[in-house]
Chain A
Amino acid sequence: MKNRTKVLLFALINILLIGTITAIGFISGYFKGNETTTLRQVVNIFTSAALFALLVVVAIEFASPFIVKSATFTTAFVALAVFLMLFTSSDTLNLLPSIGIDNTHIAYYYVFRIFNYGSFLFGLVFLYFFFKQDYGFKENKYGELVSALVLIGDYIVFIVLLFFGYSHFAFIPAFILAFYWTIYITHSVIERYTFNAIYLYSFLILTTLVGAELAEILNYTINDYFHNIGISAYSSITIILFFFLVYMSFTFKMNKEAQKNEINEKRLNELQNNVLKNQINPHFIFNTLAIIKSLYLEDPKKGSKAIDLFSQHLRAYVEAGESFLVPLSKELDIITSYVDLANLRGEKQFEVIYDIDFFDFEVPYFSLQPFIENALKYSKINEKEDGYIEIQTFEEEDDYMIIISDNGVGFDPTNVKSTSYGIKNSRERLRLLLGATVSIDSQIDKGSKITIRIPRKDMRNKE
């Protein structure tokens, strides 16, 4: 199915859901008339307790020595928004006479309505941030500006309608808002290809929030507001419980991911250390120094060039101790200096041919070199006349591709897999850091071909 169709379908389902909740809320509010039961008060107390529990959980996380996740901030704000919404609902308005305040004054109505609707918007804004920060909502500066303008404009229209006696039409901006948000968030979800439990929970929250608020507004505008009961207390429970669930599952998932990352980090450090240990071995260092010495005796200029190459190579090791990834063009420079050094050493020369179509991405340090070493070792290209290794890079729709091929004698790939530690190490680091796959294809007498497929960053979170 095409994306556009998916968006429309998803939006339609969402609008239907909102519609249903609105209808139920409206009908229940319309027919219940002006009963104020003790049940409703119990419900209110229960809702407040649930909300309080949520706030306590958030507070504990704030106070704990661990790093506070951005999800916690947004959760706190959404909880605050829902609390404000509840506090300014019709229930609270109806409770006012019991503490001796006359609720018939028209100002209370306006103040409560504005705050109620305002906190509803507030909640939506922070739900948006919840999506954006923690789910990497597609970055869209223009979209954010439009959202902000729509929200502000909508709010102004709402207030104008309310104050100039057209309160019957105040549900129109609310509908616009519901529609806009449904489309906007749905679209972003589809763009990111992510359909998991947390997303669905969040949708339910949003749906309930929008539906409940619409019902509330409808009841206000069509019924006489003093007789209105609405569903805000019931819906608030739903909202809070849903949000609680989302928050818990989110935290759980984050913890799991953090654990996984921790294990990966340990493993990566180990792999990286092994690479460095393998690269800076005494054999390599002293051999190179010996060659440099003899080059100096031959021609000081050649010796000086060799020193430059060697120090460039050593510098790369030092840098590799500080980060895992290196821009591709730099990794290729490291390979060039490696090949030039190797050519200084050997009697037979070989060359690496670069066919670089795209280089705006990163690879793990020294992750390509083992494949070059391997080609040298098994394909014997330096023994062949006109032997060469070719490194080719280009981009495909979803991946960056690196192909390392040679015209050597080839080897049995099943054999090499078990013997070359360097290749295994590279493979694992490519997989852990970039989610890349490596395939080795070699035929005796025809040379070998190594294909590295690195998924683009924005595709990596695809689940």
Chain B
Amino acid sequence: MKIIVVDDEIKSLHVFLDHVVSNTNFEYQFFKDDHNQILTYVKNNEIDGAFLDIKMDNIYGPDLAKELIKIKPEIKIIFITGLNYSYSTLPDDLKKNVIGIIYKPIKEVELSKYLLKMANEKPVLKVRMFGHFDCFMNNELVRFSSNKSKELFALLLTLNGKSLTMEHAITNLWPDKDVDKAKILYRDAIWRLRQTLHEIGFECVDFSRALVTLNKKKDSIECDYWDLLKGKDVFYNYEFCIPYEWSINYESEINYLYEKRQQFFKKELFMR
């Protein structure tokens, strides 16, 4: 993907540029708000996308966007702004090309979400269950709204597609609390999980009154534990879902599975 970045202040874009560089699929060219220079470049080069600031000293972002669209009708545009500018305030003739608006200061999760969208790639949630439990959205660590909501998500994933009931969640996550308090805490974790998934734009869970289920977006989840269950060759360091206490219940089974798998692979190697 070749993109251009236009902003009058390079400083506010530090995080952003780091990311674009680290993502090998993107090649970028940076421009200050020099109107002619940008247009000549776009006319003479293949460009897939553009990140534009809205309020710059010499150019107004949406005006520049209009000119870019004239040259490259298929160009995908993302605005970066400190203003309170929303999709609905955009002129109609831009709406087709603008795929998002990012607000300053740029959040890493937000940015990676839009980079994926620009590359037309499906978002993938990578889940690490072996070792310390963590989730990554396009290589960015997902920050959960609370520890318990993260733990709830981990517990749901260990069920490998089956629904998580309120009773199961409470016995594992809040074994010491009395039932009424635990129910409230359960509902709090549910709400926070919902908000976190909404924020990263990966709503892979369906919530009903006392049941939590992964929906069809689960196909876009890459999880090392699931890979092991499917029989893929994965690395396992004899640690599962740290620091959650309930993970002990699963360890012996996973150890057994892993060793069986290792033997199978060794045998296969030997046969060759």
Contact = CB atoms under 8 A, between A and B. Distances in A.
Given A321-B84, A353-B185, 5 more contacts: A311-B105, A315-B103, A329-B195, A332-B195, A356-B187
A398 interface: no
Contacts of B145: 336
A-B interface, 9 closest residue pairs, ranked by CB to CB distance from nearest: A354-B191, A353-B188, A318-B84, A355-B187, A356-B191, A354-B188, A311-B105, A308-B107, A355-B184
A322 interface: yes
A154 interface: no
Interface residues of A, number: 19
A390 interface: yes
A307 B105 contact: yes
Contacts of B105: 307-308, 311
B84 A354 contact: no
A102 interface: no
A333 interface: yes
A355 B146 CA distance: 14
A305 interface: yes
Interface of A: 305, 307-308, 311, 315, 318-319, 321-322, 329, 332-333, 336, 351, 353-356, 390
A322 B184 contact: no
B72 interface: no
A354 B103 contact: no
A318 B85 CA distance: 10
A308 to B, nearest CB: 6
Nearest to A352: B188
A81 B25 CA distance: 68
B211 to A, nearest CB: 15
A299 to B, nearest CB: 14
B187 A354 contact: yes
Chain A facing B: main interface SS: helix
The size bracket of the interface on B is 10 to 19
A402 to B, nearest CB: 14
A355 B198 CA distance: 17
Contacts of B103: 311, 315
A311 B146 CA distance: 19
A356 B192 CA distance: 10
B143 interface: yes
A221 to B, nearest CB: 57
Given A308-B105, A333-B195, A390 B184 contact: yes
A44 to B, nearest CB: 54
Contact of A353 (B84, B143, B184): B184
Contacts of B107: 308
18 contacts: A308-B107, A311-B103, A311-B104, A315-B103, A322-B84, A329-B198, A332-B191, A332-B195, A336-B145, A353-B184, A353-B188, A354-B192, A355-B187, A355-B188, A355-B191, A356-B187, A356-B191, A390-B184
Interface in B123-170: 143, 145-146
> Which of A307, A319, A332, A355 neighbours the largest number of chain B CB atoms within 10 Å of its CB?
A355
A250 B146 CA distance: 54
A245 B104 CA distance: 58
Contact of B84 (A308, A319, A355, A390): A319
Interface in B58-99: 84
Contacts of B195: 329, 332-333, 336
B250 to A, nearest CB: 28
Contacts of A329: 195, 198
Nearest to B185: A353
Nearest to A353: B188
Nearest to B146: A351
A314 to B, nearest CB: 10
A361 to B, nearest CB: 16
A308 B105 CA distance: 7
A300 to B, nearest CB: 12
Contacts of A390: 184
A305 B103 CA distance: 15
Interface string B172-213: 000000000000110110011001001000000000000000
> Which of A311, A329, A354 neighbours the largest number of chain B CB atoms within 10 Å of its CB?
A354
A370 B182 CA distance: 27
A315 B187 contact: no
A438 B37 CA distance: 59
A191 to B, nearest CB: 30
A423 B185 CA distance: 27
A385 to B, nearest CB: 14
A93 B37 CA distance: 80
A320 to B, nearest CB: 10
A356 B195 CA distance: 11
A285 to B, nearest CB: 15
A305 B145 CA distance: 12
Nearest to B198: A329
A322 B187 CA distance: 33
A335 to B, nearest CB: 11
A390 B183 CA distance: 13
A336 B149 CA distance: 14
A333 B199 CA distance: 10
> Which of A311, A332, A390 neighbours the largest number of chain B CB atoms within 10 Å of its CB?
A311
> Which of A305, A315, A351, A356 neighbours the largest number of chain B CB atoms within 10 Å of its CB?
A356
Contacts of B184: 353, 355, 390
Nearest to A310: B105
A329 B184 CA distance: 18
Contacts of A351: 146
B108 to A, nearest CB: 8
B30 to A, nearest CB: 23
A329 B146 CA distance: 16
